[in-house]
Amino acid sequence: MHLAAADHPHRGGGGRAALGLGLGHLAAAALRREHRRRALAGGAVLASALLLVATPRLRHSPALHLFADMRNLLGVPNTLNVLTAYPLLLAGVPGLVLCLCGSGCFGISLRWEALGWFLFYAGNVAAAFGSAYYHLKPDDDRLIWDRLPMMISASSMLSILVIERVDERAGLSCLLSLLSLILVSSACERVLDDMRLWVVLNSAPCIAIPAMLFLFPPKYTHSRFWFLATGFYLLARFEGLADRKVYSVNRYFISGHSLEHLCFAMVTLILTVMLSFRNVKIVRDS
């Protein structure tokens, strides 16, 4: 009896030691995963910088403003390219209004996350007017009004994911850095006639957003909407690149560029639905 009683402290101490060892292994594994993720992010930034340096200067071309569908219907130049920009307005305004109403309307739990969503919706609303203005008379002087709002919107979407899935401070740094680079890219394009930085910034969300969805766990519920929105975002980019091919495939009914506008509007609509239904899934200190 005495021997059995004497064994209990040793077994209890051994259990606590095993529990502590197990927690230590879990913490070490989580730390290793975090290091791998940060190394991956650093490698992506380095690869982008090397690509920017190694690529020769990319100049403007007059062909940049020659879209597949240049039909003049009802007296409006480039009619469908102009009209398909306005669904961005219809999708963006409700989200912008609800975003301004505060976190009570949307499932937003962090302060800088609210700023990211505001810039995302504001970029979409501005893109509706900017894109329509550009397509009425496509030229170098009007091009910035088409590109700048959409770049702000895409950069905000990427930064929101960083805030949500990594860290609020890292996401804010990402947002401020991308916005600064967007201004620099616009200056390089206008002053130096060099589009390299714009191409890199335009391509980065296409790679970074899907990667983050798979690498980092969601903080909120209804995260499947992110996958759906990302699918439409990538489809929009593809359709924009395959403007003429898409136009010929559907027998010259609607061009790839017009479909690109509609897919961007779908991205905004899907994310608005997500924000309306989601709740905090993982409580994380920021």
Side chain identity at 111, as an amino acid letter? R
Which is more confident, 17 or 170? Answer: 170
Least confident of 31-35, 66-70, 156-160, 218-222: 31-35
Confidence of residue 50 (pLDDT cuts 50, 70, 90): low
User: For position 104, what pLDDT does the model report?
Assistant: 58
Which is more confident, 270 or 9? Answer: 270
What average pLDDT does the segment 260-276 reach?
A: 95
Give the residue extent of every domain in the chain. 55-277
Confidence of residue 252 (pLDDT cuts 50, 70, 90): very high
User: For position 93, what pLDDT does the model report?
Assistant: 94
Question: 271 near 229, Cβ under 8 Å?
Answer: yes
Q: Is the dihedral of CA 225, 44, 162, 121 positive or negative?
A: negative
For 127-184, write each residue's pLDDT tens digit.
999 999 999 999 999 999 999 999 999 999 999 999 988 888 889 999 999 999 999 9
Q: Is 23 exposed, middle or buried (0-12, 13-18, 19+ CB in 10 A)?
A: exposed
What average pLDDT does the segment 52-61 reach?
A: 75
What average pLDDT does the segment 88-101 reach?
A: 89
Side chain identity at 206, as an amino acid letter? C
**Residue whose tokens read 């609210």:** 114
What average pLDDT does the segment 71-96 reach?
A: 94
User: For position 34, what pLDDT does the model report?
Assistant: 60
Least confident of 139-143, 229-233, 282-286: 282-286
Confidence of residue 15 (pLDDT cuts 50, 70, 90): low
Buried-state track 217-250, b at ≥16 Cβ within 10 A, e below 16: ebbbebbebbeebbebbbbbbbbbebbeebbeee
Least confident of 2-16, 84-98, 218-232: 2-16
Which is more confident, 25 or 175? Answer: 175
Instruction: Region of 74 please: left (phi>0), alpha (psi -120 to 50) or beta.
Output: left
The fold adopted by the segment(s) 55-277 is Rhopdopsin 7-helix transmembrane proteins (1.20.1070)
Distance CA 204, CA 160 (A): 14
The tokens describing 211, both together, are 């990667």
Could you tell me how far CA 177 lies from the centroid of its own chain?
A: 14
Distance CA 3, CA 223 (A): 56
What average pLDDT does the segment 65-87 reach?
A: 94
User: For position 109, what pLDDT does the model report?
Assistant: 73
Which is more confident, 109 or 69? Answer: 69
What average pLDDT does the segment 199-215 reach?
A: 90
Residues near 85 by beta carbon (within 8 Å), at least 6 away in sequence: 127, 128, 129, 131, 132, 135, 261
Q: Is pLDDT at 285 greater than 50 in this prediction?
A: no
Question: 212 near 152, Cβ under 8 Å?
Answer: no
pTM listed for this prediction: 0.82
